[in-house]
Structure 1
Amino acid sequence: MAAVRRYTDATPLHCYRLGGGAAVVSLDGGGQVVAKEGAGPNAARAEATGLMWLGESGDVPVPAVHGYGDDWVVMDYVPPGPAHPEAAKAFGRGLAALHLRGAPGFGSPPPDGPADAWIGLAPMRNEPHVDWPSFYASTRIEPYVRTCVDRGVYDTDEAAVFDAVCARLPELQGPPEPPARLHGDAWSGNVHWSDDGRAWLIDPAAHGGHRETDLAMLRLFGTPLLEHILGGYAEGAADAGSPLADGWQDRVPLHQLFPLLVHTVLFGGGYARQALRAARAALG
């Protein structure tokens, strides 16, 4: 593959597909890399810059990026392994430290990352905002609700529930926090358990946001050993002098709205009902 030759200076020998436009490629000098085709414009750049931003501190392991262009990103391949409690707790502590590295603003992209990025197969806008409520409402709730209304997924009354959430975000958010350095798509499939006994982050939708968003995403789709992860996170955040604010568990539905709306746009069906339930739960 041309991208592998370009970014590794090695000759690819053979590959096998992983799905999602990615393939594991064996190299003539030994070792393996993952070559991944972007889901759309800027997707390869968004993923590569996100990985580099998340990985620069070493708080949580992420695959090293060999290079990227308009259409492809080439990164290290990390062989899979089993999940175990020690790795989960260490991952939680590392994630707390990573979040506290901060970001220039709510909605800011990684350095050199595009404003028009992606979360999975859905477009996602990254642009800095002065506070989390304005960012979350204008770029993480309202655009996806409009799409759903245009497609007939939600009627006017149902859309009004999301409007109410956006209007009340300043009071619903809990104590204001500085922008955190987020993975942005931290569902269970993007926590990769490796054969070296660690938990890695892959496939980011990285941006500056609220740290409770990553934690809510971990809970949404059943991440293995979640309580060990959250325990490690709580320890790490407390040791750093930045424990999670009281009531963060009650705000999980609020932070799950974004991924649920993305899934509603992409897949419809039960996700639409789940997003609406989360919006009503967020309102209390």
Structure 2
Amino acid sequence: PEEVQRWLEAHGYGAVTRVQPVGGGCINNGERLRTHSGATFFLKTNTAAPPDMFAREAEGLEALRVPDGPRVPRPYLWGADFLLLEDLAPAAPRADFWETFGQRLAALHNHTGPAFGFAHDNYIGSTPQPNPWTDDGYTFFAEHRLGFQARLAFTRGLLPADDVRRVERLAARLPDLIPPQPPSLIHGDLWSGNVIADAQGEPALIDPAAHYGWAEADLAMTALFGGFPERFYRAYETAHPLESGYRQRFDLYNLYHLLNHLNMFGTGYLGSVQRILRQWGN
């Protein structure tokens, strides 16, 4: 985009001399830009993105940039169809990568907010994620996570009405199933593809759906698509003790992400949603 070129030149980096496509994203396109000065930047583009999607991502990245947390790329410039970021120059992870990540994620989660929610609504993948400030975590997760996704899936013809009612019944039982937790600053979309090693091999986070929510919910997604090494969880628990049995609760939190995948990718995820509803249903 012209705005990117103007920004680079105005800040003394000069013209873009090389563009290297970077794979890995299923929603946006990624490119590494090398400039005349030798400095590199990471550019995300998506001409079909909602007009505020990259602005909301930039806000989330800035919020997650806490001194003791995992590294997060700095957002420099954004518009309706692009986001220019600090280039983390991903490399091989250090030997203690997962222990370090566990400690730093715990440090991130130790940053708490006044309530559940966020300064703005944002996106989880390409799906809107409502974040109204809500005092009660159970209400927040029931209405603005499970309920929102279930209603969206129903209106799109992806979730039968019976299953919507089962989601609502399960949401009403959350206080009996999930321990009280403060509103922690969380990444919100913490699968393995959004955890990378920077140029020094240190852990870094990308592509957030940031908000103040339950720390256990952030941890749960780490187990959804393959899981993280055991030493990550041990390091996390040392720095941020958890209520016993937290792994048994992962499916409850991940119902949100599976409903979102149902909304984004279609009925291939319906069986996973229904399995959790059967397992936790009454």
TM-score (norm 1): 0.89
1:1-284 matches, cutoff 5 A: 1-8=1-8, 9=11, 10=13, 11-18=15-22, 19=25, 20-37=28-45, 39-83=49-93, 85-109=95-119, 114-115=120-121, 117-174=122-179, 176-223=180-227, 225-237=228-240, 243-283=241-281
1:122–1:266: 8 Å Cα contact kept in structure 2?
yes
Name the CA distance, whole Å, in 1 between partners of 2:124 and 2:105: 19
Question: What is the deviation of 1:236?
Answer: 1.3
1:80–1:195: 8 Å Cα contact kept in structure 2?
yes
Residue aligned with 1:219, SS: coil
2:70–2:105: 8 Å Cα contact kept in structure 1?
yes
Question: What is the deviation of 1:45?
Answer: 1.1
Question: What is the deviation of 1:217?
Answer: 0.7
Question: What is the deviation of 1:159?
Answer: 2.0
Question: What is the deviation of 1:49?
Answer: 1.1
Name the CA distance, whole Å, in 1 between partners of 2:192 and 2:153: 25
Name the CA distance, whole Å, in 2 between partners of 1:37 and 1:58: 30
1:44–1:71: 8 Å Cα contact kept in structure 2?
yes
Partner deviation per Cα, 1:156-195 (whole Å, 9 max, x = no partner)? 3222221111111121222x11100010011110001234
2:68–2:107: 8 Å Cα contact kept in structure 1?
no
Residue aligned with 1:263, SS: helix
Contiguous gaps of at least 5 residues in structure 2: none
Question: What is the deviation of 1:21?
Answer: 2.7
Name the CA distance, whole Å, in 2 between partners of 1:148 and 1:139: 14
Residue aligned with 1:192, SS: strand
1:3–1:72: 8 Å Cα contact kept in structure 2?
no
Identical pairs, percent: 33
1:126–1:207: 8 Å Cα contact kept in structure 2?
yes
Partner deviation per Cα, 1:187-235 (whole Å, 9 max, x = no partner)? 1100012341211100111001000111111110124x43121111011
Aligned in 2, Cα 1:283/1:89: closer, same or farther, shift over 3 Å?
A: farther
Name the CA distance, whole Å, in 1 between partners of 2:239 and 2:7: 36
Aligned in 2, Cα 1:139/1:6: closer, same or farther, shift over 3 Å?
A: farther
Question: What is the deviation of 1:6?
Answer: 4.1
- Which residue identity does 2:267 align to in structure 1? G
Name the CA distance, whole Å, in 2 between partners of 1:127 and 1:151: 23
Runs of 4+ in 1 over 4 A off after TM superposition: none
TM-score (norm 2): 0.89
What corresponds to 1:240 in structure 2?
none
Partner deviation per Cα, 1:79-116 (whole Å, 9 max, x = no partner)? 2223455111100100001011112321223xxxx32x
Residue aligned with 2:173, SS: helix
Contiguous gaps of at least 5 residues in structure 1: 238-242
